[in-house]
Amino acid sequence: MIKPRALKSKDRVALIAPASRPTKPSALKRAERIVHDMGFVPVVGAHALDTHGAMAGDDQARLSDIVTALEDDSIAAIWCLNAGYGSIRLLKDLPYDTFAKKPKIVIGCDDNSHLLLALNQKSKVVTFHGSNLDRIDSKDAFDRFKKLLTSADHFPAMQVKDKFLSDFCYSPVNAVGKGRIVAGNLTALVSLFGTPYEPDLSGSVLLLEDRSERNDILDRWFTTLYISNKLSTVAALGLGQFEDCSTKGSFNMLSFEELVADRVTEMKLATCFNLPFGQACENAVVPLGLQVSFNTEKGHLAYLESALS
């Protein structure tokens, strides 16, 4: 796995919108300010505020912003401004070889998960699942993101935390799984199934999250993982934050936890819930492709190697 270099003060960071555009001009200005205050130089994609339906410009415009940033040696990192929809439409034209030759930090989440998963799978470069810039809204997160992106040290271990019970973790199957970490948005991951960009899940430690979805829809995509016979090849499964996911007014639904647990229990797949993995900035930044050791009983995931060089 190729590791990008850690950021230094005054490094240029491209801010792009591979999916939807920022909802308003202030969202873009605010993102620039955050990156600036971290000590980097923000470089906004030429088409970040374009419109093409819900997307930040047509495919050519959005592609041009990401390709420009990937090819430009003076750009040290790419940080996605926000999610929405549209990054999957760029996958067939991304310069995967260029990215392998010129690795750099690419960070984002939600719809941008398509990019992170495809770039990691095709270019064998570590990519970073972390809040899009529009979700950075605390001093704690600001400090933590800055520290993580500027150091070649091992990322700190991820630990399930309950607000009250410090050592509480719900784990339907207790075991330790070791493998290469694949982490992403459940909807995005399943959207890559059957395509040349589908991540290799065999032997992996798989982390999933999603947002604003109904339990039965989440179960549809989890079912796809299950019936594909790929879930049975996974070393361990971690369910992260399913922000704003619920029965959404349907009266007849069990929790997503139960719908997942009935199958992982039957499969004896090491699994735990409520990992600090998701889209909000209090969650961990997760580097895709690293070797990890995951103890589901304790809800503890440790990195066996560093993420950045």
Residues in touch with other proteins (CB under 8 A): 20-21, 23, 51-54, 84-86, 88-89, 91-92, 187, 190-198, 212-216, 219-221, 223-224, 226-230, 248, 250, 252-254, 258-259
Least spacing, CB of residue 216 vs other proteins, in Å: 5
Q: At a CB cut-off of 8 Å and minimum separation 6, what does 102 contact?
A: 70, 71, 73
Nearer to other proteins, 178 or 214 (CB): 214
Least spacing, CB of residue 182 vs other proteins, in Å: 14
Nearer to other proteins, 269 or 290 (CB): 269
Least spacing, CB of residue 193 vs other proteins, in Å: 3
User: Are residues 273 and 171 in contact, defined by beta-carbon separation less than 8 angstroms?
Assistant: yes
User: Are residues 80 and 69 in contact, defined by beta-carbon separation less than 8 angstroms?
Assistant: no
Phi-psi region of 248 (alpha: psi -120 to 50; beta: other; left: phi over 0): left
Least spacing, CB of residue 80 vs other proteins, in Å: 16
The b/e string for 188-213 (b: 16+ C-beta within 10 A; e otherwise) is bbbbbeeeebbbebeebbbbbbbbeb
Nearer to other proteins, 33 or 248 (CB): 248
Least spacing, CB of residue 94 vs other proteins, in Å: 12
Nearer to other proteins, 86 or 108 (CB): 86
Place of tokens 């796809």: 224
Nearer to other proteins, 22 or 103 (CB): 22
- Which one, of 290, 305, 293, 309, lies nearest residue 1 by Cα? 290
